[in-house]
Structure 1
Amino acid sequence: MRYADWPRPLLVVDVEGNGANPPDLVEVALFPVEGGRVRPERARQWLIRPPVPIPDRIIRIHGITNEMTATAPRWSAVAKEVGAALEGAWIAAHNAGVEYGALTRHLPGWQPAGVIDTLRLARAALPGHKGFGLDALLAHTGITLDGVTGTRHRAAYDAHATALLLLHLAQHYATWEEIAAAAVPPGMPGHPRHEENTLW
């Protein structure tokens, strides 16, 4: 695997919401992957105060309470900073349509250079395996999470764990082009047909 051929920046992203439809963001995390390594020391994360309270059923999932977000900035105060951090980047996420949809809704006019979905990548790399949720894949692959701080379903933890999963699954492929062919969802940036459509 020639990591020198991977795009830069490549950011593994995770977002958490408040359960609204569509959801308002309450947390965003970005973890860079460079040279075949996750760079947690360069990770960025934001806790955000949503316009409406987070219901108990959502708090039980990610553990982010209304008390925790009470003094956090509104999205309008951090949107420019998040957009600047994402500028020109490929993004990767597990079931990436969720992150792609949330970020493009909250950042009008922003588009990533490409989108890698580790869920699609796992289905291509591990044919016949049952269970493609993040927890099931981490258990199946035996990825060590000792260096991942925080708790499951918080944005930073999930983005870091997904970055490790991406690097593990990448070993099934010889080139970045093969990874992108397997993992970019149709219609999203970075997919060959998407690139063709933008020419006309």
Structure 2
Amino acid sequence: MNFSSWPTLLVVDVEGNGCNPPDLVEVAALPVRDGQPDKSTAGAWLTKPNHPVTPFAARVHGLTNQVLDDKPGWEEIKDEVHACLGTAWIAAHNAHVDYRVLSAHLPRWQPAGVIDTLRLAKAAYRDLPKYSLDALIEHVAPDLSQAPAQRHRATFDAYATAQILIAMASHCESWEQLVAAAVPPGLPGAPEPEQEPTLW
């Protein structure tokens, strides 16, 4: 895979307050440049949700209401997040979830495309019993020594997902082949289905 052929790509991850629909409590956006995650230009935001974090969500990611109490509200940071994401491609694990939540919070945002590392993993590693992020971390064994925070924080999960995406990209000959395997139908960037030729 020639990484220089890749368009601008941000690996994203979000954490919520445990409600449905969720309020965001953390967003991470990590660029991949020349086949490496670029922490020097990454974006990471903590935000105080409109509704309290549920005990279950707090146990998962560790972001309690006390931790978030002095953080800015979403209205204060949304323009900065939107500017960081721009019109770049995004990648995420089980990407339709992150795309749906971010789209709900950023109604004017339109990424160029959405890479789903879960979908790509099923094409790259056909015989795994599970395709969760934990299962892929175990299978791929990426170097996470430089990952920020810890598992289930947006910054860590984005870094781990970026490393797994880079590893899986070696199974594809080109960016176009990766897109064909990794973009879910109906999401931005999905290849157009080939039309059967007709007489008309």
- After TM superposition, list the pairs within 5 Å mapping 1:40-119 onto structure 2: 40-119=39-118
Q: Secondary structure at the match of 1:193?
A: coil
**Secondary structure of the equivalent of 1:130?**
coil
Alpha-carbon contact 2:90-2:113 (below 8 Å) kept: yes
CA distance in 1, matches of 2:22, 2:192: 29
Q: Which runs of 4+ in 1 moved over 4 A?
A: none
User: Once the 2 structures are TM-superposed, how far is the Cα of residue 141 of structure 1 from its aligned partner?
Assistant: 1.2
> How many percent of aligned residue pairs carry the same amino acid?
52
Does the residue aligned with 1:68 lie in a helix, a strand or coil? helix
Residue 127 of structure 1 is matched in structure 2 by 126
* 1:65, distance to aligned residue in structure 2 (A): 0.6
Cα deviation code 1:2-36 (max 9, x no counterpart): 1111011x000000000111101000000000111
Unaligned runs of 5+ in 1: none
Partner of 1:192: helix, strand, or coil?
A: coil
- 1:159-194 superposed Cα distances (whole Å, 9 cap, x missing partner): 000000000000101100000000001000000138
How much does 1:68 deviate? 0.9
- 1:47 partner amino acid: L
Distance in 1 of aligned mates of 2:30 and 2:129? 27
Opposite residue 149 of structure 1, the aligned amino acid is P
Aligned to 1:189: 188
Residue equivalent to 1:22: 21
DSSP 3-state at the match of 1:102:
helix
TM-score, structure 2 normalization: 0.94
Aligned length: 194
Larger radius of gyration: 2
Instruction: Tell me how large the CA RMSD over aligned residues is.
Output: 1.2
TM-score (norm 1): 0.94
- The equivalences for 1:141-180 within 5 A come to 141-180=140-179
Give 3-state SS (helix, strand or coil) of 1:28's partner: strand
Deviation sequence 1:59-92 (CA, Å, 0-9, x none): 0111101011100000000011100111111000
- Cα distance per residue 1:31-67 (max 9 Å; x no partner): 0001111101211100000001101111011110101
Give 1:149 shift: 2.1
CA contact (8 A) 1:187 1:193 kept: no
Contact 1:118–1:183 (CA<8 Å) still a contact in 2?
A: yes
Secondary structure in 1 matching 2:63: coil
SS at match of 2:32: strand
Other structure's SS at 1:149 match: coil
Q: Does structure 1 retain, via aligned residues, the 8 Å contact 2:111–2:188?
A: yes
